[in-house]
Amino acid sequence: MTGLGQVITAMVTPFTRDLEVDYDRAVQLAQRLVADGSDGLVVCGTTGEAPTLSEDERLRLMATVVDAVGDRVPVIAGTGTNNTAAACAFTKKAEATGATAILSVTPYYNKPPQAGLYEHFRHVAGSTRLPVVLYNVPGRTGVNMLPETVLRLARDVPNIVAVKEASGSVEQAARIAREAPPGFRVLCGDDALTLPMLAVGGSGVVSVASHLVAGRLRQMIAAFARGDVAAAQRVHLELLPLFAALFLTANPIPVKRALELAGFPVGGPRLPLVPAGEAETAALVAAMRPLGLLA
């Protein structure tokens, strides 16, 4: 399996009623996502509630998804943490599950300077033979990895191959796309910014909405690629209410409720997250009904 995909779903982790990982449901979800148009999966990312999963749960979940769909789509393992030594050690273990690539988030809470971010990711990448995708999400981590740092890593470290850019800055994504070495990919980390980022050099999205509309996202990307910007814009505008509803509160609270409303329940979230309330559920219903997504 080569490449990373264009519509990469940041997969939720299904839980039983007792909030144990439901590995059988994870297989069914992975197969459903691929059938619906996802051409890559992230396992144990933020959407997968990785902070509340044990190491054993994460490794078993990665291996389970690889076994289920790894021969058809890339499976990208989320291995990031704010302890560099621990991130390197866990990345080595994740590589052994058969994952295609690694997704590694900027260290959170520590608030390292840019030099620290560079050294952190240089060490993480050095711990694995797999391609590494950097994940910049300052709204969650408290630190923004600047384009200069991303570009330096892209040039200096051969197996750092992409960045999931979720800073909300299209200008930042554009600069990376403009100055990165050939083959380095900028992946959008915000569903609502996918089309704007395509316009400045992005090449795909790590998506939450693709749990429900992967096919439509692929149509949008394909339309843009063939120069039909108007068609891409129509899809983007059609999906905007869904994008908004899926982020009314902390991810993955809304998308787990949305999957339930779509007839594919995956259980609720683990604490400290709580299930979607009435207001979030009503907003999801209002956004999903016009798209024909309700069960």
Residue pLDDT, tens place only, 117-141: 999 999 999 999 999 999 999 999 9
Residue 116 domain-assigned (yes or no): yes
Residue 232 domain-assigned (yes or no): no
The residue from 93, 109, 118, 164 that is catalytic is 164
Q: What angle do CA 177, 72, 155 make, to 5 degrees?
A: 25
74 within 8 A of 4, measured Cβ to Cβ: yes
Is this structure's pTM higher than 0.85? yes
Query: Residue 222 maps to which CATH number?
Result: 3.20.20.70
Domain count within the chain: 1
Residue 38 domain-assigned (yes or no): yes
Residue pLDDT, tens place only, 38-73: 999 999 999 999 999 999 999 999 999 999 999 999
109 is catalytic: no
Question: 83 is in which domain, residue-wise?
Answer: 7-226
The residue from 23, 118, 135, 256 that is catalytic is 135
pLDDT along the chain (295 residues), means of 10: 85 98 98 98 98 98 98 98 98 98 98 98 98 97 98 98 98 98 98 98 98 98 98 98 98 98 98 98 98 98
Residue 87 domain-assigned (yes or no): yes
Q: How far apart are CA 237 and CA 193, in angstroms?
A: 11
Residue 21 domain-assigned (yes or no): yes
User: First CA to last CA across the chain, in angstroms?
Assistant: 34
